[in-house]
Each structure stands twice: as structure tokens, then as C-alpha cells.
Structure 1
Amino acid sequence: MKSDLLLTLTHGLIVSCQAPVDSPLHDPIVIAAMAKAAINRGAVGVRIDTPQHIEAVRQRVSQPIIGLWKQQIPGFDVYITPRFEDAVVIAKSGADIIAIDATLRERPQGETVKNLIAKIHQELGKLVMADVDSLEAAIEAELAGADCVGTTLYGYTKATQDQSPPGFDLLTQMVNQLQVPIICEGGISSPEMAKKALTLGAHSVVVGTAITGIDLLVQAYQKAINNRE
């Protein structure tokens, strides 16, 4: 059954439906509408943040939900479902796959990625998507039992802050060295880039801002207009 879930994502588009907390779009009804629209147009799954949004999306969508809960914990840089207690709430909200920060950074409560994945598997019966920023972290995540690994955090950690997503080089390395499905996420801003990711061997592709990021897209256009010469 678990393998069947990942099979439904094969060579498909996963749409990340999220919005800034201060945006009018940060409303469960709106997020659920985005998710349903994405599924209606052929997306094989959606990636959703916060329990409330996952619950709302679950009511309208039967396709796989990759759930996460961004939590800012003082003293730690990891923020994507950093603790098991966060994963518990995400699972109860209706997520099929739990996305976690699987970088090599220090974690709260002395938890390890391996222990976190094991508890999600054993106690929640859910698959785990490991969000990483490097090949080393990807290899460690696979060894820790992750069901799939994403390039999600490439360019977003101190170790990779001088890099810009999408991490196609990292994607290629991960495809060549890992056995689990690799999901390309981060910086995919056009259909052509999504196609390239799949050509390079990605199991599936996650696209967020380029499809659902109205706030950031309008801000970018406005900045360009205001800075015209």
C-alpha cells in the first residue's frame, strides 16, 4: 500500500499550496480551493503546511497530501516538522506523507532523523519525505529509512546559502547514488524546468511559488516595475 502511494506520484506534478501568514490567501478555505484546482488540472498530489490547512484540503482532495508543519523553535534552524509531536498532529490532520527537515543540523529535544522517521513509521504508519540540502544529508536520510528524499532545502541553509535552487546538480547526484525516489523541489519556475527535472531522473516535481505564490509573484513584478529605468 505504501509503495502504491509513491507510485501514484511517479513522473507527476505536486503543487505546494501555501501562503504567507499575513496574506488573505492564508485561509484554509482558500488553500483548499488552490489544492482542488491543482488536482482538477492534473496534479498528482499537493504539499500543504499546518494542520488546519491539511484538514481543509483533505475534505476536498483524495489524492496524496504531503503534510508538514513549519515550526520556529528558539535555538534551532530546523523548522519543517522538526519534532515527533508535530508529525503526530500532521498525521491526524489527514496527511499521507510527512515531510521533515532531514538536514544535518542540530535538532530539538536531542532527536535524530533516524529516530524521528522510525517513530513516524511505527507509531503513525505514515511515509516520510526527507527534505535535504546536500548529498551527504540525502544519503543519511536514506540510511535512516526515509521513503523519498527531496531537494527542498538546497539553497536555504547556511551550508548552501551561496547556491540558488533548483539544485539540478544535487538532483543528479542523488538520482545516481540513492535507491529511494527523489523529488525535485525548490526553484522550479517554469514548465520547462519541471520537465528537465524529470528528464534528470526525478521521481516527481514539486512546484509552489510559480503556481500558487500570488503574494511573492506580485511583489516581484511590482519591484521590477518600480525599478525600471
Structure 2
Amino acid sequence: MDVVTAIEGGLVVSCQAPEGHPLRDPRAIVLLARCAELGGAAGLRVNGPEDVRAVKAVTGLPLIGLAKVPRPHARPLITPSFALCEELVRAGADLVALEVTAEAEPSAGDLPGLVERVRRELGVPVMADVSTAEEGVRAWERGAALVSTTLSGYTPYTLASGPEPDLALVGELAALGIRMVAEGRLRTPEHVAEAFARGAWSVVIGGAITDPLAITRHLTAATPAGSRR
């Protein structure tokens, strides 16, 4: 079964930890991935060749690889070059996630063209991380197997979308026949159910499952002690 079909109707768990996080170690990422697999995840989303390689060695789940490239005073870009895509595939990624946003193109170049090149030259499907309907359509037309709402609310022109997941974008593009992945700020079973009701092919959840630091901070803020900090 191909990776796109394998995650249809399922939950993909994003197992990542940034630099400086207590879990920033491939061995910790592997443990998160094993927990996700035992919990019923249909696939995994993993950042960086080192973590991809480590996770690939312990699980048979479909593996979506990405590479976050830091920028000063801005969010990281997601896999903005062919060389990064090639590294991920060599490490064992079954599918590559890369962004197709107007924000990234001034520095990264022709991102829809990158989608097409990865599919053609590396022989793996692409998940296009986008922030708007226009970006999603451009990526789909250039051969993305999946389009994800990952960056809605994180580009300068979508920051006003608020703290809730952009499920309207899922529905808008799914109605056009685009295989949509709901990702970004999903936290509850209700979010997951609503995403599928709007036509999502799959759902990706990360921090709400795999970041105990963020979860603890969120819950601590509701305590009397936490509110005094």
C-alpha cells in the first residue's frame, strides 16, 4: 500500500522537538514515535534526516519527513530546497513535506516547481504545507499528493486567523477535489472529527500529543500558582 493511501482516514502524529527542548534527542523522538504507533497512529511526521533515520529503524509506519530551516526573527521555513528533500529520502522518508507559500518563495525560489521536481526525480509523493487556498491550488496543480493547512495562521498574511484550526480551508480545498490534510492547532477529538467531516484525507497533530512541556505550561496557567508567575 502506498503512503498516501495508508494514511487515509487516519491520524498522523508529528514527533518533533526544537533545539533547547528537553526532548531534543533522536532517542527521545524514537520513544514518541513508538508511543504514537502503539496508540494507533496511521503515520508519523518527523523533522530532520537524523530523526527520520532513527525513527525509520524502529517502525513500519509511513514516515513523512521534513527539514525546518531556522531564520532570524521569523518562523523556520519547511524543506525549502531540493537538497534537503534528497537528504530526507536517503534517510528513509516515504513522503516529503515542504512548504508552498508566498512568504517563502522570495528566498526559496519556485516552490511549486520544487514539488514537481521531488516527485519526478526522487520518486516520492509530496505533502505541500500551505497557508491559503491559492497556495494549495498551486501546489496541487504541480503534483502535490497531499495539501496541508500546516501554515495557516503562521504566515504574515494569515496571522489573523486566530487560535482555532483553519478547518474552513480544509473544506474549501477538499470541495475542489484536493486531498487535504488538516494540520495546525488541532487539539481535541472534536477538532479531529470536524476536520474529517469537512473532507480531510488525514489529520496531523503534534504538540497536543508529543510536547509535554507545552501541555504542562498550558494546564499550569489555569492554576492559582501558575497565574502568579
TM-score (norm 1): 0.92
For residue 7 of structure 1, the aligned residue among 5, 8, 12 is: 5
Partner amino acid, structure 1, of 2:165: P
Mapping of residues 192-211 of structure 1, within 5 Å: 192-211=190-209
Partner amino acid, structure 2, of 1:33: L
Change beyond 3 A, Cα 1:109–1:157: closer
Corresponding residue SS for 1:136: helix
Aligned mates of 2:73, 2:30 — CA distance in 1: 33
Q: How many residues align?
A: 226
TM-score (norm 2): 0.92
Supply the RMSD in Å over aligned alpha carbons: 2.0
* 1:144 aligned partner: 142
Aligned mates of 1:23, 1:43 — CA distance in 2: 23
Which of structure 1's runs of 4+ aligned residues deviate more than 6 A? Answer: 74-78
**Structure 1 runs not aligned, ≥5 long:** none
Aligned mates of 1:10, 1:220 — CA distance in 2: 31
Corresponding residue SS for 1:174: helix
* 2:227 aligned partner: 227
Q: Displacement, 1:73?
A: 4.6
Q: Displacement, 1:224?
A: 3.0
Matched, 1:182 2:145: no
Corresponding residue SS for 2:157: helix
Aligned mates of 1:221, 1:76 — CA distance in 2: 27
Given that 1:80 and 1:99 are in contact with CA atoms closer than 8 Å, whether structure 2 keeps it comes out as yes
Matched, 1:35 2:33: yes
Given that 1:20 and 1:26 are in contact with CA atoms closer than 8 Å, whether structure 2 keeps it comes out as yes
Q: Displacement, 1:220?
A: 1.8
Mapping of residues 11-160 of structure 1, within 5 Å: 11-73=9-71, 79-107=77-105, 111-160=109-158
* 2:171 aligned partner: 172
Q: Spell out, residue by residue over 1:125-172, the C-alpha distance to the aligned partner (whole angstroms, 9 max, x if none).
A: 111000000111111111121111001001111010011241011111
